[in-house]
């Protein structure tokens, strides 16, 4: 998902393996993620997406420090329509808003959540090619 204040920007959904950078989008008050080669296109994460950062995650919140390099994307404050919703949850349970991340941090999308949707035709075909043939037993 992309935070409410990013809805007017060009955006695309995240894919496994994406290399992202935390960024401030110039026409908004919000920070989010983009690909370094497309800094004006917001990359939207689904709740449950797992990210691995190149170094310990940093925030521009006073006296905040993290020893974590991995986090899971989630949404918070959903009952407040004009609040920031995009957040990262760390293995110790602490949560920080994406808009508070220090700019310029690099992360890789490790895993997308299971959406319960069927695989695309190409993914299904690859999966079938990997399955051993079953005998009529």
Long-range own/partner contacts, residues 74-82 (CB < 8 A, 24 or more apart): 74/47, 74/48, 75/1, 75/47, 81/4, 82/4
**Domain ranges (residues) in the chain:** 4-130
Q: How confident is the model at residue 51 (pLDDT cuts 50, 70, 90)?
A: very high
User: Cα–Cα distance between 21 and 104 in angstroms, integer?
Assistant: 6
Instruction: Give the pair of three-digit tokens for residue 117.
Output: 């949707």
Residue 18's pLDDT is 97
pTM over 0.75: yes
Q: How does pLDDT run across 53-100, given as a tens digit for each residue? A: 999 999 988 877 889 999 999 999 888 888 888 999 999 999 999 999
Q: Examine the pLDDT at 117 and tell me if it is beyond 70.
A: no
Continuous segment of H or E residues that includes residue 125: helix 121-130
């Amino acid at each position: 998902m992309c935070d409410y204040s990013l809805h007017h920007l060009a955006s695309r959904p995240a894919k496994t393996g994406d290399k992202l950078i935390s960024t401030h989008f110039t026409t908004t008050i919000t920070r989010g993620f983009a690909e370094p080669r497309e800094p004006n296109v917001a990359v939207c994460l689904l709740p449950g997406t797992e990210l691995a950062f190149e170094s310990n995650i940093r925030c521009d919140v006073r006296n905040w420090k993290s020893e974590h390099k991995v986090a899971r994307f989630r949404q918070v404050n959903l009952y407040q329509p004009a609040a920031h919703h995009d957040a990262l949850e760390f293995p110790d349970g602490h949560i920080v808003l994406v808009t508070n991340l220090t700019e310029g941090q690099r992360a890789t999308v490790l895993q997308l959540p299971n959406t319960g949707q069927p695989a695309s035709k190409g993914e299904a075909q690859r999966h079938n090619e990997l399955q051993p043939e079953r005998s009529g037993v």
